[in-house]
């Protein structure tokens, strides 16, 4: 057990670091500080840290990037976000990316200490559970005592816990589980899981774990609805020893957490974005139409200067309309309604037509756009979304070839799959940025592409369209040599 937990405070403001150090040191914690993200990662490599306080807005490596690295490399460390932007959206996003909790500046001392103490208690409980598990493996004859200790621990947890055996019986559960499931009376162990769990997806997950499809350190996370509550269920294997003293799967452990509030906040955010986008699109479209009337001279002759100003305004309106359409697509992705109307379709005419529309834009940048199409079978697809997918990939290839060059679009049959390849010889993508190019609002930074306008939503929408069609998308890139996007879509089979 930890006698004196070590807390790492990461903040670019020295008064915050000093204040946290004084406050926590006086309460028995050992405190180390870092002024930026890079320094914090160096400390983590050398010093055992139990809790991390992390500022979001810092020079250099941002707090979000540090959080991502810590969750990947040090998953046992609870990360508490400290930020001056204490909005609900910030809280939701941080919790989604693995933060344990968050506090807003300026701190309320009682709330701040309560959060720290809760994280310390979490570490102690985790370590105690680990010690109990090791004790169980070392001493097979003390099963009764071990079960008693484990039950004491889980009964104190706020999250619901249930342990099932290979007969699909619940052999251990805590009061929190019954509260989350809306069951007011307790049930004596063991009893069939079907008595309290109606979600067949969750039941099948536990069956797969019993069958050995989940590895020792692998956990399966899924959502389930119980009444008006949304619960996150995290399931993993429970191991025991057989007569040959080998570890085998003897059951499954499932932890249920109530995430209803976070789902409601996420829905509120999506509804707000959707409403704002719809309210903005109609007046912008009307203004764009009025500008077209003026540019066509239907309202009288204009001077060259007037025409230039209206054309500039129209381009800005087009950019705003594109942003609004992207935001509406994101809302549809989150609602699972991005692709709704599908029919068997030949992609070749769509690819050729889309490429033809993009050619004038490519020629303006000195880019040669070539299309090669083989004879392929039909794809069960939403034509509108497929035009959007192809247009986004070609547009990206042209935009990121600022010094001219060549963009090649190839579609070919690959057995039961259709392969669509869009290749350019532009600026390329650095290896460290490749894992994030499909993230929403993420844009590649390059000196030659500063003037490229965009929202960073295009590739995330492309990936959503591909996955909605049961396909895959991969990218290969070499900096300063070019990028290749490869989309695989299943051929339609009646």
Asked if 154 and 189 touch (Cβ cutoff 8 Å), the reply is: no
Q: Verify that 167 and 247 share a domain, yes or no.
A: yes
- Is residue 134 domain-resident? no
Q: Verify that 380 and 457 share a domain, yes or no.
A: yes
- Is residue 153 domain-resident? yes
- Is residue 203 domain-resident? yes
* CA 236 vs CA 134, 175, 211, 222: distances in Å: 17, 20, 12, 12
Residue 226: give its domain's CATH number: 3.30.450.20
User: Average pLDDT, stretch 284-290?
Assistant: 78
Asked if 414 and 377 touch (Cβ cutoff 8 Å), the reply is: no
Query: Is the pTM here over 0.95, yes or no?
Result: no
Which of 120-134, 140-154, 205-219, 479-493 bottoms out in mean pLDDT, i.e. has the lowest? 140-154
Tokens of 476: 């290969």
Q: Verify that 36 and 104 share a domain, yes or no.
A: yes
Indicate if the pLDDT at residue 370 is higher than 80: yes
Indicate if the pLDDT at residue 167 is higher than 80: yes
Which of 426, 423, 406 is closest to 479 using CA atoms? 426
What pairing do the DSSP bridges indicate for beta strands 30-34 and 6-10?
parallel
| pLDDT for res 243 | 60
- Is residue 282 domain-resident? yes
Q: Verify that 356 and 486 share a domain, yes or no.
A: yes
Helix 260-295 to helix 304-335 angle (10° resolution) is: 150
More confident residue, 123 or 325: 123
Reported as a pLDDT band with limits 50, 70 and 90, residue 449 is low
Q: Verify that 225 and 267 share a domain, yes or no.
A: no
Indicate if the pLDDT at residue 383 is higher than 60: yes
Indicate if the pLDDT at residue 494 is higher than 80: no
Reported as a pLDDT band with limits 50, 70 and 90, residue 397 is confident
- Percent of the chain exceeding pLDDT 90 equals 2
Per residue in 328-360, pLDDT tens?
A: 666 666 656 666 667 888 888 888 888 888 888
Tokens of 164: 């099932």
Q: Verify that 418 and 451 share a domain, yes or no.
A: yes
Name residue, tokens 């910030």.
90
| pLDDT for res 273 | 67
Reported as a pLDDT band with limits 50, 70 and 90, residue 100 is confident
Name residue, tokens 């903040």.
11
Q: Verify that 402 and 364 share a domain, yes or no.
A: yes
User: Average pLDDT, stretch 423-427?
Assistant: 86
Phi, psi (deg, nearest 5) at residue 364: -60, -35
| pLDDT for res 88 | 61
DSSP letter, residue 212: T
| pLDDT for res 1 | 57
- Is residue 355 domain-resident? yes
Residue 480: give its domain's CATH number: 3.30.565.10
Count of residues making up the chain: 494
| pLDDT for res 332 | 66
Which of 54, 89, 91 is closest to 74 using CA atoms? 54
Asked if 351 and 411 touch (Cβ cutoff 8 Å), the reply is: yes
Q: Verify that 232 and 291 share a domain, yes or no.
A: no
Per residue in 137-147, pLDDT tens?
A: 666 556 666 66
Looking at 258, 273, 296, the residue that finishes a domain is 258
Asked if 251 and 150 touch (Cβ cutoff 8 Å), the reply is: no
| pLDDT for res 111 | 84
Asked if 482 and 368 touch (Cβ cutoff 8 Å), the reply is: no
Reported as a pLDDT band with limits 50, 70 and 90, residue 126 is confident
Looking at 258, 278, 298, the residue that finishes a domain is 258
Q: Verify that 211 and 279 share a domain, yes or no.
A: no
Residue 99: give its domain's CATH number: 3.40.50.2300
Looking at 192, 223, 258, the residue that finishes a domain is 258
- Is residue 1 domain-resident? no
Which of 24-38, 74-88, 120-134 bottoms out in mean pLDDT, i.e. has the lowest? 74-88
Per residue in 185-238, pLDDT tens?
A: 878 888 888 888 888 888 888 888 888 766 656 788 888 888 888 888 888 888
Reported as a pLDDT band with limits 50, 70 and 90, residue 433 is confident
| pLDDT for res 493 | 76
Indicate if the pLDDT at residue 148 is higher than 80: no
Q: Verify that 242 and 159 share a domain, yes or no.
A: yes
- Is residue 434 domain-resident? yes
Asked if 418 and 411 touch (Cβ cutoff 8 Å), the reply is: yes
Say how many domains are in the chain: 4
- Is residue 436 domain-resident? yes
Sheet holding 191-192: strands in order across?
191-192, 169-173, 160-165, 247-258, 229-241, 220-226
Look over the chain and give the mean of its residue pLDDT values, rounded to a whole number: 81
CA atoms of 239 and 385, how far apart (whole Å):
47
Per residue in 12-65, pLDDT tens?
A: 888 888 888 888 888 888 999 998 888 988 888 888 888 998 888 788 888 888
| pLDDT for res 313 | 83
- Domain limits at 289? 263-335
Q: Verify that 183 and 281 share a domain, yes or no.
A: no
Indicate if the pLDDT at residue 128 is higher than 80: yes
| pLDDT for res 486 | 92
User: Average pLDDT, stretch 442-471?
Assistant: 73
Indicate if the pLDDT at residue 97 is higher than 80: no
More confident residue, 141 or 468: 468
Q: Verify that 481 and 444 share a domain, yes or no.
A: yes
């Amino acid at each position: 057990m930890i006698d004196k937990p070590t807390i790492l405070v990461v903040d670019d403001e020295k008064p915050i670091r000093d204040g946290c150090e004084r406050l926590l040191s006086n309460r028995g914690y050992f405190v180390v500080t870092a002024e930026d993200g890079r320094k914090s990662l160096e400390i983590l490599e050398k010093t055992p840290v139990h809790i991390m306080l992390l500022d979001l807005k810092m020079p250099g490596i941002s707090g979000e990037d540090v959080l991502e690295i810590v969750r990947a490399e040090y998953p046992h460390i609870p990360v508490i976000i400290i930020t001056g932007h204490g909005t609900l959206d910030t809280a939701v996003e941080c919790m989604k990316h693995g933060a344990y909790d968050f506090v807003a500046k300026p701190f309320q001392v009682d709330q701040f200490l309560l959060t720290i103490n809760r994280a310390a208690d979490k570490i102690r409980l985790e370590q105690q559970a680990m010690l109990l598990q090791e004790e169980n493996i070392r001493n097979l004859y003390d099963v009764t005592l071990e079960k008693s200790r484990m039950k004491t621990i889980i009964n104190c947890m706020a999250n619901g816990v249930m342990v099932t055996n290979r007969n699909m019986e619940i052999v251990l559960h805590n009061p929190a589980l019954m509260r989350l499931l809306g069951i007011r009376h307790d049930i004596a162990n063991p009893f069939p899981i079907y008595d309290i769990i109606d979600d067949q997806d969750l039941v099948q997950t536990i069956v797969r774990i019993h069958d050995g499809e989940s590895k020792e350190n692998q956990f399966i996370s899924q959502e389930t609805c119980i009444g008006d509550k949304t619960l996150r269920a995290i399931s993993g294997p429970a191991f025991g020893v057989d007569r040959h003293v080998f570890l085998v799967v003897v059951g499954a452990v499932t932890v249920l957490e109530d995430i209803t509030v976070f789902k409601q906040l996420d829905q509120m955010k999506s509804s707000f974005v959707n409403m704002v986008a719809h309210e903005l699109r109609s007046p912008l479209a009307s203004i764009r139409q009025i500008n077209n009337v003026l540019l066509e001279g239907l309202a009288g002759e204009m001077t060259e200067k007037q025409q230039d100003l209206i054309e500039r305004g129209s381009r800005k309106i087009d950019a705003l309309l594109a942003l609004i359409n992207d935001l509406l697509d994101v809302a549809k992705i989150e609602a699972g309604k991005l692709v709704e109307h599908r029919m068997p379709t030949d992609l070749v005419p769509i690819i050729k037509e889309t490429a033809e529309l993009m050619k004038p834009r490519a020629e303006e940048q000195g880019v040669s756009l070539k299309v090669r199409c083989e004879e392929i079978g039909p794809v069960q697809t939403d034509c509108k979304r497929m035009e959007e997918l192809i247009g986004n990939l070609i547009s990206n290839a042209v935009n990121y070839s600022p010094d001219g060059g060549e963009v090649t679009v190839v579609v070919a049959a690959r057995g039961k799959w259709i392969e669509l390849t869009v290749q350019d010889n532009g600026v390329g993508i650095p290896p460290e940025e490749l894992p994030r190019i499909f993230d929403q609002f993420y844009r590649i930074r390059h000196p030659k592409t500063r003037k490229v306008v965009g929202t960073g939503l295009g590739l995330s929408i492309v990936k959503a369209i591909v996955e909605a069609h049961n396909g895959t998308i991969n990218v290969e890139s070499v900096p300063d040599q070019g990028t290749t996007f490869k989309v695989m879509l299943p051929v339609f089979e009646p």
